[in-house]
Amino acid sequence: MSRLAWLNGLSAEEAQAEFMRCCGVRTWAAALARARPFASEAALFEQADALWARTGPEEWREAMTHHPRIGDVSRLREKYKATGAWSEQEQRGMEGAGGDVIQALADGNRDYEARFGFIFLVCATGKSAAQMLGLLRERISNPPDQELRVAAGEQAKITHIRLEKLLAP
């Protein structure tokens, strides 16, 4: 059985739980679960994107509460059990980072949260710690409304990667 067939065959509650692993917005996950069955993986991604396009600041902030801070690898296993392995893979760029970069990320995360009221969210897959720090430093000067939209775009990228992982054999 393909992973798509498996996903289509889950109960609504089970499917919603799986979609929550990809994006922590309950209304989005519930709507995606109701949209099944999907004829193809492309149809799933198309529906996921269409539903995300209908979300707004409240949902974007909800999604952010389901992510660890960039570089906070120690909390991944503890607080984010459902997505911890995925988050750990996504933040693999933290491996081998020097203490100065790690400290700068910790300080930057704190300053970012104080400025915007939400965590710094970046699609970390394939990025080094230094690249993530550079992005944090660039984005911290964004106006709050713009930064919230940028973070929502990063969430959309993360969601795609996690949907791909969900469908992987």
pTM score of the predicted model: 0.85
Report the pLDDT value the prediction gives residue 100, as an integer from 0 to 100: 85
Alpha-carbon distance of 6 to 62, in angstroms, equals: 27
- Does the residue 52 lie in any domain? yes
* Structural domain ending residue among the three candidates 36, 62, 88: 62
Report the pLDDT value the prediction gives residue 79, as an integer from 0 to 100: 44
- Does the residue 123 lie in any domain? yes
Report the pLDDT value the prediction gives residue 103, as an integer from 0 to 100: 86
Residues 55 and 72 in one domain: no
- Nearest CA to 84 out of 169, 165, 26, 160 is that of 165
Q: pLDDT averaged over consecutive 10-residue blocks of the chain (169 residues)?
A: 97 98 98 98 99 98 91 53 55 67 89 97 91 96 98 98 96
- Does the residue 163 lie in any domain? no
What CATH number is attached to the domain comprising 125?
1.10.3330.10
Domain count, the chain: 2
Residues 57 and 79 in one domain: no
Token pair for 49 = 């994107």
Residues 20 and 85 in one domain: no
Residues 150 and 108 in one domain: yes
Report the pLDDT value the prediction gives residue 87, as an integer from 0 to 100: 55
- The domain in which residue 50 lies consists of 3-62
* Structural domain ending residue among the three candidates 47, 62, 77: 62
How many other C-beta atoms are found inside a 10 Å radius of the C-beta of residue 68?
21
Report the pLDDT value the prediction gives residue 77, as an integer from 0 to 100: 44
Residues 74 and 148 in one domain: yes
Report the pLDDT value the prediction gives residue 152, as an integer from 0 to 100: 98
- Does the residue 167 lie in any domain? no
Q: Tokens 């996921």 map to which residue? A: 48
Residues 71 and 151 in one domain: yes
- Does the residue 130 lie in any domain? yes
Alpha-carbon distance of 111 to 18, in angstroms, equals: 33
Residues 89 and 58 in one domain: no
